[in-house]
Amino acid sequence: MTVFNEWGGEPLDEIMYHCRELVEDTTFPTIKRWREQGGKTLGHFQVYFPEELAHAAGMMPVKMCGTMLEPNNADSHFGSYLCSIIKTSLEAALSGGIELDIFVSHPICDAARNLAAIFGRNFDYPCQILYLPQNPNSVASADWLSQEYGRMRRLIEEIVGHEVSDEAISVSIEVFNENRRLMRELYEIKREAPWLVTADEAYALVAIGGVIPREEHNDLLSSVLPMLRERETRREDRIRVVFEGAFCEQPPLDLVRMLGRTCYVVDDDFLIGMRYLLEDVPVTDNPLLSLSEAYIEQSSYSPVQHDNRKPKEDMLLQRIKESRADAAIVAAAKMCEPGLEEQVAYIHMLDDEKIPYFVSEFEENMSSFDQLELQIETFLENILFA
């Protein structure tokens, strides 16, 4: 079954329009269409979830990454001093916008690790934590994680009422490998020819994968990427920037659009969980172990995972160098403790490396960017005319 047909046969600008509209649509029409056709859904909170497990069972994995809804129903379930994404993710479920059969969260931060318990008190479907190793440096972590994935597979099997075989998971791994390849290609365009795709277009093209089946996402990207490469957009003299700080809560699309007007965002951590595995996952006779090892050995980074091999400031520096960026925007979602803590390390590193940076906070529900745009333009002009 397909749930997102609006773009078929349309020119590139129209396709991008439909993608942006869907990303900003707080009624989640594609998820509704999926469920109207009898499909089941597994909602997973940020950052990373092995979506292959849900896909192999015939479920649609839905990325719960906040929304621009006002948390009118969710607000009373929380205290003050919390990030927005926690509230709006619950709001999306309480308001009926996103109907689920399973909700999974991860102990990525002090706030998010409460989500499974909160969902569990409010919904009858299973609301669970999937533990991802916080000690990936232990020799036991990959094997343990594969068992944890096995536990999740058993839960999914209970929900769908049939076995989820190794073979089915291997097929799903191939679908997602193709998806990862296409997103890598998109990011290659961002790095090598950023004038061909604006920041908000690239964002929408990735984000849409969280609310449609991955095969459809593959079809979309396969069609759009060649169109982007053939685009006749003039290269401009703009500062190349890395945006860091959107590993969990996402900035509103209008903020990303504003960035796209002022600079070339040549790399970022927007929705990094969808791009967390950096290479193809090998298809083996033990697909759960393959997925586990990929998470431990071939993954990106974020402030919510400690790995002795990946000091975050070193990883950001690598991201800046590999994308040949001139500057960094070091952002954090309001009240995002890990993001705010990481900012300090990032800033000290950037000072040491003499890389210009701009520090900011954002919130997914913010709607006014005039002042921020002025500040960023001033920052960029300082670099341009230095």
Partner 1 sequence: MTTETPSTCDIVGRGNRDGAQLFRDWFTELGETAEKGEQSAYVFVMGSMNEILKTFDLPVVFPEINSLQTAVRRVAGDFLSEAEDYGYSPDICGYVKADVSVQLRGGEHPMGRIPKPSIAVLTNACNTYVKWAEIWERMHGCPMFTLDVPGTRQAGTQSWPGDQDFENDRRYVQKQISELITLCEQVTGKKFDIDKFREILRHANTMSVGWRRVIEANKARPAPFNALTDGTIFLGVANGFRGTREGADYFNDLVEEMEYKATNGIGALAEEIYRLVFIGVPCYPIFRRFNELFSEWGGSFINSTYLWFASGGTNLGFEYDLAKPLESMAEGTLINVRDAMDSMFHQDRMLVDMVDDYAVDGVVYHPIKSCRTVSTGLADSRGYFAAKKDIPSLFVESDMMDSRVISEAQMKNRVDAFFEGLASRKQKAAIAGKEN
Q: Catalog residues that contact partner 1 under the rule CB under 8 A.
A: 76-82, 86, 107-111, 113-114, 116-118, 120-122, 126-131, 133-135, 138-141, 144, 147-148, 151, 303-304, 306, 308, 312, 332, 334-335, 337-338, 340-345, 347-348
Question: What contacts 62, CB < 8 A, 6 or more positions away?
Answer: 31, 41, 42, 43, 44, 98, 100, 210, 211
Question: What contacts 357, CB < 8 A, 6 or more positions away?
Answer: 327, 328, 329, 330, 346, 347, 350
Closest separation between CB of residue 348 and partner 1, Å? 8
Residue 27 CA to residue 92 CA, distance in Å, equals 9
Nearer to partner 1, 125 or 203 (CB): 125
Closest separation between CB of residue 18 and partner 1, Å? 36
Question: What contacts 125, CB < 8 A, 6 or more positions away?
Answer: 100, 101, 102, 103, 159
Closest separation between CB of residue 42 and partner 1, Å? 14
Residue 61 CA to residue 50 CA, distance in Å, equals 9
Assigned token pair, 198: 């604006």
Closest separation between CB of residue 340 and partner 1, Å? 4
Closest separation between CB of residue 67 and partner 1, Å? 19
Closest separation between CB of residue 285 and partner 1, Å? 20
Nearer to partner 1, 131 or 195 (CB): 131
Nearer to partner 1, 185 or 337 (CB): 337
Assigned token pair, 50: 């092995």
Nearer to partner 1, 33 or 310 (CB): 310
CA atoms within 13 A on the CB side of 4: 29
Residue 219 CA to residue 215 CA, distance in Å, equals 6
Nearer to partner 1, 97 or 136 (CB): 136
Strands in 102-105's sheet, in edge-to-edge order, are 60-64, 41-45, 102-105, 127-129
Residue 67 CA to residue 88 CA, distance in Å, equals 6
Nearer to partner 1, 130 or 199 (CB): 130
Nearer to partner 1, 133 or 260 (CB): 133
Closest separation between CB of residue 330 and partner 1, Å? 11
Strands in 240-244's sheet, in edge-to-edge order, are 264-268, 240-244, 327-333, 357-362
Look at residue 124 and give its three-state secondary structure: coil
